Amino acid sequence: MRTIYFLLLALLLPFTATHATPLPQLRISVENSPSHVQTRAVKRFADTLAERTEGRLDIRFHDQAALYRDKDVLYALAQGKVEMAVPGTWHVMKFEPNIGIFLLPCFYGRPARDTYDILNGPVGTALNNRVEKATQARVIGSWVDLGHAHLYGVTRKITAHEDISGLRIRVAGGAANEMRITALGGTPFSIAWPDLPIKLEQKVVDGILTTHETVRSAKLWEHGIRYAFEDREYFPQYIPLIRNSFWNRLPDDLKKIITRTWEEHVDQARAEAAEAQLSARDVLLSHGVEIVTPSPAAVTTWREHIFPAQPKMVQALRIDPELLKQTMSELPSTH
């Protein structure tokens, strides 16, 4: 009997130990739909990470804001209710104002590569450090893209920057977008997204600030959008964050697997975001939306035209002047 007892004990010990120490749970929250380019990118990362960690993490991916909307997810991270999120820069800048650097006139009309170059240099390092301090979360790698935001018209075709004068433009919110529209000669309006279609039909506004993909997904041509002006107002992105209290408990080899896996997916995520915007552009054209692309010379001229508004924007957004000075020194003078 004694021999049988010890045999049973030996068999049960591994089972007991396994259940006494549950796997670290990595809950990943995104708010977009399964078809959204950002959701697909984060899901690929989660799937690859599950394979590479070989059962050492309990990875649970949640899309469509099943856990939290991005406007709330940073609070959830801080409270330990979720381990990872990839919120848009427009949400993160509420915690770290210096993210607003990329919404200033100095970035107006610039190509994506200018943003990448800044993020890959000392300014990018400084920004990530500040984000980590403000959110108590680790930035695990490069930011991924949504795509350039442009102007879209209902009542008037915008053929040149001068046509923006007097237009009532709906913006998603935020002082930077409002002040930039004002500097361009327009009047910014804040309208909740669910109310936008009917407001467009009623011509409460003359246009909106958004992206090709957003217009496509909401079929805004059915609600009055007739024109697009591809002036590359700003370049929204998403920042990958993992809660510090979770990150700090992980062994170093797991941390390396996570950061390496994320970084290996960045190029594909950015390429797919660019392709999604191009595909959406084609859809807009097929539905009769007229698209005007200003010349590089015109964009440069108007970047210089609105630049005098930048000091007030810097003050309103609470941007560090020294960090901005360093950013400006690294930007190409023209494009």
**CA dist., res. 253 & res. 112, Å (int):** 33
Among 220, 12, 232, 224, which Cα is nearest to 109's? 232
Q: Is the pTM of this model over 0.95?
A: no
Is the fold of 2-146+237-278 the same as that of 149-235+282-330? yes
Q: Which residues of 79-117 are buried (b: 16+ CB within 10 A; e: fewer)?
A: eeebbbbbbbbbbbbebbbbbbbbbbbbbbbbebebbbe
User: pLDDT tens, position by position, for the chain (335 residues)?
Assistant: 555 544 444 455 554 444 456 789 999 999 988 989 999 999 999 999 999 999 999 999 999 999 999 989 999 999 999 999 999 999 999 999 999 999 999 999 999 999 999 999 999 999 999 999 999 999 999 999 999 999 999 989 999 999 999 999 999 878 899 999 999 999 999 888 889 999 999 999 999 999 999 999 899 999 999 999 999 999 999 999 999 999 999 999 999 999 999 999 999 999 999 999 999 999 999 999 999 999 999 999 999 999 999 999 999 999 999 999 999 999 997 65
Q: What kind of architecture, by CATH, is found in domain 149-235+282-330?
A: 3-Layer(aba) Sandwich (3.40)
Q: Where are the domains of the chain?
A: 2-146+237-278, 149-235+282-330
**CA dist., res. 62 & res. 28, Å (int):** 6
CATH topology of domain 2-146+237-278: D-Maltodextrin-Binding Protein; domain 2 (3.40.190)
